[in-house]
Amino acid sequence: MSSRLPVLAAILLSGIFPARSLGAPLSTEQIAAQARPSLVTLSSRGRDGSSDGVGTGFIVDPSGLVATSLHVIGEGRPFTVRLASGQDVEVLGIHAWDRQADLAVIRIARTNLSALPLGISSNLVAGSEVVALGNPLGLAESVVAGVLSARRVLEEIEMLQVALPIEPGNSGGPLLDREGRVQGIVNAKSLLTRNLGFATPIDLLQPLLQQPHPVPYSRWIRTGTLDGSGWEPRLGARWRQRAGRIEVEGTGTGFGGRSFVLRTEPAPELPYEVRVSVRLDDEAGAAGLVFGGDDDGVHYGFYPTGGQLRLTAFEGPDVFSWRILGTVPSAQYRPGEWNELRVRLEADRIQCWVNGQEVFNLTDGAFAGRRVGLAKFRDTGARFRSFRSGASLGPAPSLDPSLILALGGVEIPSSRVSESDRIALRAQLPVARAYLDARARQLEREAARLRQLATSLHQDQVRDDLVRELARPEAEIRLAHAALLIARLDDPELDIAVYEGQLDALAGELRAQLAPDLDPAGRLDALRRFLFEENGFHGSRHDYYNRANSYLSDVLDDREGLPITLSLVFLELAGRIGLAHVHGVPLPGHFLVRHAPPDGSPRLIDVFNGGRFLTHSDADDLGSEFAGIPIRSEFLRPATPREIIVRMLTNLQSFTERSESAAASLRFSNLLVAVAGEARAEAAQRIDRARLRSQTGDLDGAQADFKWILDAAPPGLDLERVAEMHQRLVNAPR
């Protein structure tokens, strides 16, 4: 689905903005004078309230709508808005946003504002003169003139390439033509030259104004943040939670850029263990475990720093009160990769391991607290996963030696070339180079083979788990769990329990708002408001075919998805708040939710469009337009959990084949075959998989699919045609 409006629609929409006669081109001075009253300064803040950056926005509607770039305000970050008059104004909420296009529309508590007129950027031609206004490097209301030099596709978005200086602070500001109309929103500067930048075409803003998905500011600043019931951040930096992982970036306010988070739930009584896997974005920084802590921030820390492992007692706020208990190298530590850290704290002893190898075993009984968590230092970013604490966690599981041998042995020995070896190799350089090149190619092939094996094993496990889930009695199938298994196919690190807990938390928050005696109609309305007004869940219009829209984890993280994934969220919350008789309606080309209480009239909900109610006539028109034949929505039976999962996988297979390749889409086709259910449905999926296998050169695999169909002989298929295709593959040259 394209989000670019037709020219006529854009012209009609521009009528909501103040009109002025457009005559001769304006000078840069005139444009700046007219536009300045509409500019706003946006200041983002870190978690501790300190200033974290300055950007620009501009008023697009007198009622209090401000447009900017999404990265200027940050997702889930506090920010402030200051008008051109110097007045700070209250932020009411985020009116709409588009992550792919890097756009956001903010609603502020002020009306009767001076709004800038919007142009039609598709009409702007290369060579047109443009003017940008903003706050480069914090210098307010700066003006620069240049030209539109080209249109350039960056990350699947056609951007306006402009020849003018762009600096931090310009982002989010308007790019105006010589008639004073906004043609783009300044987005980024080129890394190649200071006189080159990019702007998002203003046409991409129009759909956000037409079909907003507002979120109150109080809820927006909680987006992606750590679960406050589970973690307590200290000393600034930006701690976020996504895909079951914890991420941190920015510099903490503690000495050396230190920042940490503590689990609200304490560890067990001594002795206890703490474990996490950590990956540093920059090995010059440091990040790792906190343990033995108290409520005042006194604790031990075990973490990689500069490629080595360090154990420190943090007895106060600065380096003069820190005791470094040891800094050691470890051959087991893998810079730039995930590394597992584990600690055991006893009354007078500390043991620390990295990737199963003990690196510290010493006596120190300074701290025996039960506060545990994570820490980071300096300006490095870091990611954490699989945090656990308990009485005894034990080492990470390891493979049976016989399996390690089957995979080629423990490790490929590192070459140890002495200076005398180098001299000898140089004496036979042509032969030595040929050998080294051949050896490198051999190792590259082996690495590719092992990675392919790891991927294949993971995909097999997801398939088996999904088949097992759908084999339950229909009333016992955990639909969200099954959907999250699909998301895990492409993200082996995805923690399903985290997202099941997120659904539980959303439902718990909603239940707390409901009166115990609220009737079903009231619960339905409350659920609609909660999802689409309070939390901003919305249909993905600009980036419809992105696979993320089909992954429940991403939909929960981003609050954006397809009709079927948004319906799934609606169904899951309905069940959790006790709203019965709610099910999915599998309309062709669209997916709806129906509430059909036995003692009332059924109601159709279009979750893709803000949870609006539809009549059956509306739904009939939607389905008939897509199917090309008349559709009677009131007679469509509810979608079963298996049908919902199959439809999600069908979308993924189709989207991936369209955007990537037949080979890439096969992983979804394999799942479709596995979960098809009865024989006739499986035969249809095998026919499609045979098509994909043939396109990728896997003729034996395609032949096996046709052979299965012939052996199963499900009713309703032209088996003679299947036999003909099978024979062609048998006779095809290999």
Residue 371 belongs to a domain with what CATH number?
2.60.120.560
Beta strands 349-354 and 357-363, pairing class:
antiparallel
Q: Would 1 be classed as within a structural domain?
A: no
Half-sphere exposure of residue 411, counting CA atoms within 13 Å on the CB side? 4
Pick from 464, 661, 483, 636: which is nearest to 566 by CA?
483
Residue 192: its pLDDT value, please? 44
User: Do residues 42 and 79 touch, judged by C-beta distance below 8 A?
Assistant: yes
Which pTM does this prediction carry? 0.80
Q: Would 109 be classed as within a structural domain?
A: yes
Q: Would 464 be classed as within a structural domain?
A: no
Same domain membership, residue 321 and residue 245: yes
* C-alpha radius of gyration, the chain, whole number: 30
Same domain membership, residue 289 and residue 253: yes
Q: Tokens at residue 29, please? A: 């001075």
Same domain membership, residue 478 and residue 453: no
Domain finish residue from 368, 390, 412: 390
Q: Would 467 be classed as within a structural domain?
A: no
User: Do residues 186 and 171 touch, judged by C-beta distance below 8 A?
Assistant: yes
Query: Is 393 buried (19+), middle (13-18) or exposed (0-12) by CB count in 10 A?
Result: middle
CATH code, domain with 52: 2.40.10.120
Give the total number of structural domains in the chain: 5
DSSP 3-state of 68? strand
Q: Would 133 be classed as within a structural domain?
A: yes
Same domain membership, residue 511 and residue 615: yes
CATH code, domain with 486: 3.10.620
Collect all residues with Cβ–Cβ distance below 8 Å to 476 and sequence separation of at least 6.
none
Q: Would 223 be classed as within a structural domain?
A: no
Q: Would 281 be classed as within a structural domain?
A: yes
Half-sphere exposure of residue 496, counting CA atoms within 13 Å on the CB side? 16
Nearest-angstrom CA–CA distance, 294 and 649? 48
Query: Which residue carries 């696979």 as its tokens?
Result: 547
Residue 17: its pLDDT value, please? 37
Pick from 199, 327, 350: which is nearest to 273 by CA?
350
Q: Which domain holds residue 554?
A: 474-638
Same domain membership, residue 250 and residue 207: no
Nearest-angstrom CA–CA distance, 29 and 88? 26
Same domain membership, residue 629 and residue 541: yes
Same domain membership, residue 579 and residue 709: no
118: left (phi over 0), alpha (psi -120 to 50) or beta: beta
Domain finish residue from 365, 390, 415: 390
User: Do residues 589 and 623 touch, judged by C-beta distance below 8 A?
Assistant: yes
Walking along the chain (734 residues) 10 residues at a time, the average pLDDT comes out as: 34 37 77 92 61 80 95 80 92 90 93 95 92 69 86 84 74 92 81 68 93 87 73 89 83 92 95 96 93 94 95 91 94 93 95 95 92 94 94 81 75 75 91 93 92 95 97 96 97 90 93 94 96 90 87 92 97 96 95 93 93 92 88 91 97 95 96 95 96 94 95 92 92 84
Q: Would 252 be classed as within a structural domain?
A: yes
Residue 406: its pLDDT value, please? 78
Same domain membership, residue 727 and residue 655: yes
Beta strands 538-539 and 560-561, pairing class:
parallel
Pick from 524, 531, 525, 506: which is nearest to 214 by CA?
531
Same domain membership, residue 499 and residue 628: yes
DSSP 3-state of 456? helix
Give helix then strand counts, H and E, for the chain.
19, 34
Residue 115: its pLDDT value, please? 95
Same domain membership, residue 557 and residue 679: no
DSSP 3-state of 643? helix
Query: Which residue carries 């007198």 as its tokens?
Result: 62
Residue 223: its pLDDT value, please? 67
Collect all residues with Cβ–Cβ distance below 8 Å to 105 and sequence separation of at least 6.
60, 65, 66, 67, 94, 95, 96, 97, 205, 208, 209, 212
Domain finish residue from 390, 416, 451: 390
Same domain membership, residue 410 and residue 485: no
Same domain membership, residue 361 and residue 236: yes
